[in-house]
Amino acid sequence: MRHLLSAADLDRATAIEVLDAAAQMAATQAREIKKLPTLRGRTVVNLFFEDSTRTRISFETAAKRLSADVINFAAKGSSVSKGESLKDTAQTLQAMGADAVVIRHPASGAPHRLAHSGWVGTSVVNAGDGTHQHPTQALLDAYTIRRHLTGTTGNPDGVGNDLTGLRVAIVGDVLHSRVARSNVQLLHTLGAEVTLVSPPTLVPVGAEAWPCSISYHLDAVLADQQPDAIMMLRVQRERMGGDRTGATGFFPSPLEYTRSFGLDARRLRMLPDHAIVLHPGPMNRGLEISAEAADSPRAVILEQVANGVAVRMAVLYLLLAQERETLA
Ligand code: CP
């Protein structure tokens, strides 16, 4: 694996290989072997042009637990504010010895440009680009679902398993969600049946062609499909304005949105007993998810965060520590 730019880069076998490697990484962490020597002498650059809490800290933790050196770069406070281009910024960081660049960027396609422009010779990992892709989020979500819903006594992490037969509902602001796009692709690759549930105004043009079904009625999906996992999406108010949702905000209004698409105690009770609740974070409590749902025993939201470290350790390991054919 040379780069990880999109969930589409992962076929079923490769996705399972990453999830299984993540399970091994998690096992080392559980044994309190916090630091592995695997990437000693390698340098990982976190190049973040957009805000992040979970992803940036998670990649930093993952790289450090593999003994890599880490350079954290945030566009705010850097020479980007003086007009420095992505090319010059990336080449500057490579000149400092980067072996991998983890990039988050508001422009869809920026990681792809970096990987295929010839500007740098490093591996590139997409940590979220615009409304396009967030492949490591999809991997950590799949890891969390697999562990909870396919794990057994003898195989608590569900190692080797895919997600065949599981029903996953992804609910909310699909229009702006790179998490939804990545998850639809990866969950489908792993055999899950995915249903997107969203107001019609927050469904992207072309979503009809995605490998999932689409509904505009959350209560009907909960009652009829009885999903095994429900993934609530963040309403991305910062990306609303100047697009089809209207410059003044989003439609439906926040109150209507919560009534029709919010996960609350009543809807939580409609789920089957084994069902789990996911959210990529950061959450808008009281908008797409109530505090009761977010803090319920079914919610695996903090577990997603913890699993993100193991998944990103696995991705960095497979990118940097193995000589493999190019995927992307
Ligand atoms: N899930 C996610 O990408 O969160 P951050 O924006 O905090 O990284």
Same domain for 265 and 219: yes
Whether 147 has a binding-site annotation, put simply, is no
Q: Residue 249 — pLDDT band, cuts 50, 70, 90? A: low
pLDDT, averaged across the chain: 93
Task: Give the structural domain span for 125.
Answer: 7-130+307-320
Q: Is residue 227 part of a domain?
A: yes
75 domain-assigned:
yes
Query: Per-residue pLDDT tens for 311-320?
Result: 999 999 999 9
Same-domain pairing of 123 and 141: no
Task: For residue 2, indicate whether it is catalytic.
Answer: no
Residues 44, 116 share a domain: yes
Please identify which of the residues 43, 55, 89, 144 carries the catalytic annotation: 55
* Three-class HEC string of the chain: CCCECCHHHCCHHHHHHHHHHHHHHHHHHHCCCCCCCCCCCCEEEEEECCCCCHHHHHHHHHHHHCCCEEEEEECCCCHHHHCCCHHHHHHHHHHCCCCEEEEEECCCCHHHHHHHCCCCCCEEEEEEECCCECHHHHHHHHHHHHHHHHCCCCCCCCCCCCCCCCEEEEECCCCCCHHHHHHHHHHHHCCCEEEEECCHHHCCCCHHHCCCEEECCHHHHHHHHCCCEEEECCCCHHHCCCCCCCCCCCCCCHHHHHHHHCECHHHHHHCCCCCEEECCCCCCECCCECHHHHCCCCECHHHHHHHHHHHHHHHHHHHHCCCCCCCC
Q: Each residue of 282-304: pLDDT tens digit?
A: 999 999 999 999 999 999 999 99
Residue 327 lies in a domain: no
54 a catalytic residue: yes
Counted domains in the chain: 2
Compute the average pLDDT of residues 150-179.
97
CATH number at residue 238: 3.40.50.1370
pLDDT tens-digit map of 112-147: 999 999 999 999 999 999 999 999 999 999 999 999
Same domain, 165 and 297: yes
43 vs 246, higher pLDDT: 43
Report, as an integer, the average pLDDT of 184-203.
97
Considering 2, 12, 54, 64, which one is annotated as catalytic?
A: 54
82 is catalytic: yes
| pLDDT score at 222 | 98
If asked whether residues 124 and 212 sit together in one domain, one would say no
Residue 29 has pLDDT above 90, yes or no: no
The answer to whether position 2 is within a domain reads: no
Ligand 1 binding pocket includes 199 (Cβ within 6 Å): no
Question: Residue 82 has what pLDDT?
Answer: 85
pTM of the model: 0.94
Give the per-residue pLDDT at 34: 81
Q: Is 52 in the pocket of ligand 1 (CB under 6 A)?
A: yes
Domain presence at residue 1? no
Same domain, 125 and 149: no
